[in-house]
Structure 1
């Protein structure tokens, strides 16, 4: 039993080393395989909107998705060649024969491609659904000028865009309602709200189903003005000096500026400095008088007003 304890410790140490090494040495994925899920091989469909889906590969960071027509042996058209992080990608295609393939990648290796094929047959647009592009669902923006865009739908001549702030409860009272032949439309957002948007395609004889409804939040409200706490203005402070301020409710980060005694020239090239904390340690020249102020910035870039301008003398 006395000899078993060191042996257990050796095993535990080896496991720790092997586990820890994985964090620093990226595993090779070249011998792994991507398993495609949908569309399955030889699928025949009348749906123009397709969702490409495959099983995640362990230690993969991204996936290379390619779609061609009619196949990779005799390629007439390259439809898609994109590098993405998730293991699913939505796209709208015209009727035709297609092959698609995926490989997994990380920083140092990649798998072989896995390939599959499918066919899309022509159908009335009333059986179809428009796929929305941007803004992404549940995104937040500080820009009052928002471009809404969607993918082309085969057979469509125009697109009907609706935007609302009440979940389309009353289609007679919408925030925005427009028909356009284009695949995007720029709309000014006027109030801080959650906006719902959807699109359907039209031609002379039919109209498609409405797209899925997506949300975008417009937030133009900046964080509150920052309140400085220490040091008090006009004091002599021992170097290094810890500058502190109160947290602002919606702040994601803070911008601190320290000025020379003229109150306008940054103390050094590092200022203004961006911080996620509510304090900063400053080392200055003894006897020098400096000024400082802070402002808050939220997660989407709204910038609050600067705090009061305080000063102290380094001692």
Structure 2
């Protein structure tokens, strides 16, 4: 009886070993990726990944990282696909515009291949988006600004789906131009040039492959000499330095400076030196709602190219 048990155990063991040995080793096989091809640019967010089948692989693991696996901000996909009778494997998903790497490896019960990796980019066509109803918002120079002759920076807010901008500068204006002094296409929302003293208008529009916005137009005057604000000081009128009050609504006021186009106010909470408020105004006063505490407040005058030093005082809200 004992010999029979040993014989049965040996048969089972041999059969089990044969089963293990019969699982083919695929570790030296190589996954051939079909699509997306390496370094391709896709214009659609619907992405289908496909690769060639390798013999004796029962499953495939696919991973997608953004922007790549070496410096992954995010692994956006990690899944294992089961058996299929197809001669290749595929998987579809939706990915937003960005840089990506994807990789696949084959698996069976005992072995796995190395990953095969490729890169691609999703970049939806901007030219298909109509921007004709959008407006370019200018930042500087502000409308009717007076600027000292010399280097002047024109800038505006970038417009989504624009691929370039056309900027023009006319003397004295576009209604009756004596000269178009600048007419240029640029890809960034910033243009720097030099202008002589004169009255001008400048305008900018956004463009892509299929549409463009209307021009946004502003006026400016370039003068030979502007008073140097850095040599001037804003004189605070009220409240007096070290003022204490139980009122939470406090009006801060100061003397205006002729060449200033705005005033910048910074209020600091002295308990932790954090900024309680930073704001710009075109008037010479501002009403602030405080909470109890001790504050410093500072004001300076600014124009497009210069500013005064800050004038600073303290105030306590009881």
Alignment TM-score > 0.5, same fold:
no
Could you say which TM-score interval applies, normalised by the shorter chain? 0.3 to 0.5
Greater fraction strand: 2
Structure with larger Rg? 2
TM-score, with structure 2 as normaliser: 0.32
